[in-house]
Structure formats: structure tokens, C-alpha cells
Structure 1
Amino acid sequence: MQILIESPRGPEASADIAQWRAVAERRLRFVMRRLRGELLQAQVRLEDVNGPRGGIDQRCQIHLTTDGLGTVVVHATRRHATQALDAALKRAAHALVRLWQKQRRPARQPLRAVTTAASL
């Protein structure tokens, strides 16, 4: 699985970015460990929605490309970056499991006409 982590910030926060990237990669690998055979690429993007003004403005978007299940894109907005990451990972894992279960479940068979001995 290829992991791409993006966080558009200035060069002054390079130590924080490196630490956040390490945390994001570790959390992503942990959450997606059961479905790692299905995942081809994971892209994690963190952005500060309204800049330095504060508030609930850390948005984490996760774009997952799978082998046979299609593409899943989820996002979450929280006060802190790690909370946004955890919420987005929870949504992504839930969406992938639903798609995986949907693919495994056989289509329903149409009802067959029941013939009785009286109609023969």
C-alpha cells in the first residue's frame, strides 16, 4: 500500500509536520491492517480551514484507492488534527468494510413459484 500524506503549512512548522506525518502513517496502517490486501493507495490530506483564527477548523480528508472495491473518499472536521484524523479513519474503515461485505454477499435469488399437489 502506497501512502501519501499532505499537509499544506509553511516551512516554520516542519518539525510538527514530520511528527504529524509519522502519527498519520502509523494510525492509517493500524486501522487498515485487515484490509491492506485490498488497498493500493491511501492519500491523507490535512488542512486548516479558516487559518490561524482558531475554532473547529482542522479538516482531514482520506482518499483510498482499492483493488476491486472502487474509490472511497471521506473527510472529518474537528478541533485538533489528530481528532480529525481518527474520525476520518473510522469513517473510511467503516465504508470499506461495508463495500467489502456488499461485494461478498450474493445477490438475492428470485422467488420460485410454489406448486402444490392440488394444482397438478
Structure 2
Amino acid sequence: MQVLFKSRHPQATDLRDLTERRVRFVLRRLGWLVPSAEVSMSDVNGPRGGVDKRCQVELRTDGAGSVVVTSVSHDWRTALDNALARAARFLMRMWRRGNDTRRIRQRLIGHEC
């Protein structure tokens, strides 16, 4: 899996290696479905503080297009972890729905004969 990291903020740039490790860890079981991921980190309101650390994760899947999830938090790590958790949950739901419809179709075809 290819992981792209984008940020202009110096503190967020220090998290480049951690971000890549977290993306690979969270998506380790879904890596076959996601060939590339792009993580963008930005500070929404600059040095004023507050809940302003924004992390956007874009996962490009083979069959379902792109999945984009954004999270805003007090610190970079929490924003990253929240965005990755939401993206992984969404991918699992999407994958399960695809498998469920195939199973239902197979059952219906089997009962018609």
C-alpha cells in the first residue's frame, strides 16, 4: 500500500513516520482492498489553539472509488486515530455488504432450481 502524507505545519510533519505506521496497522487486513492512502493534516485556525487539528484520510479502493474521512481534534494523534477508525469501519461495512449481497443472490439462485 502506498501512503502519501501532506502537511505544511511543522509539528504535523514530525508525525510523518507515525502516520504511515498507523495507516498500515489499521488497514492491515484491508490492504488488498486499498492500494493507496493519502493523509492530509492541517491546523484550522493557526496558533490560537482549541479544537483545530484536522486530519483528512482519503483511501482509494479498487472497486468502490474513494473514501474520504475527516476528523478534527485537540491534537494530531487523536485526529489521525479517529479518522482512521472511521475509515476502517466504513470499509468493513462496505465489504460486508458486498459479501452479503453475493450470498443472498447465491441462496436465491439455489432455491429456484
Fold agreement, TM-score > 0.5: yes
Matching residue within 80, 88, 91 for 2:86: 91
Amino acid at match of 1:7: S
Matching residue within 59, 62, 65 for 2:54: 59
1:42-100 C-alpha deviation (Å, 9 max, x unpaired): 00000000000000000000000011222100010000000000000000000100110
Q: Per the alignment, in what secondary structure is the counterpart of residue 94 of structure 2?
A: helix
Greater share of helix: 2
Matching residue within 23, 27, 36 for 2:22: 27
> 1:39 matched to which residue of 2?
34
| Contact residue 69 and residue 100 of structure 1 kept, 8 A | no
Aligned length: 105
Amino acid at match of 1:59: R
How many angstroms does 1:18 deviate by? 4.8
State the distance in 2 between where 1:59 and 1:19 align. 15
RMSD between superposed Cα atoms in Å: 1.6
> 1:114 matched to which residue of 2?
none
Percent identity over paired residues: 46
> 2:100 matched to which residue of 1?
105
State the distance in 2 between where 1:58 and 1:18 align. 13
Which consecutive aligned stretches of 4+ in structure 1 deviate over 3 angstroms post-superposition?
A: 16-19
State the distance in 2 between where 1:106 and 1:97 align. 14
How many angstroms does 1:19 deviate by? 3.2
Instruction: Name stretches of at least 5 consecutive residues in structure 1 with no aligned partner.
Output: 112-120
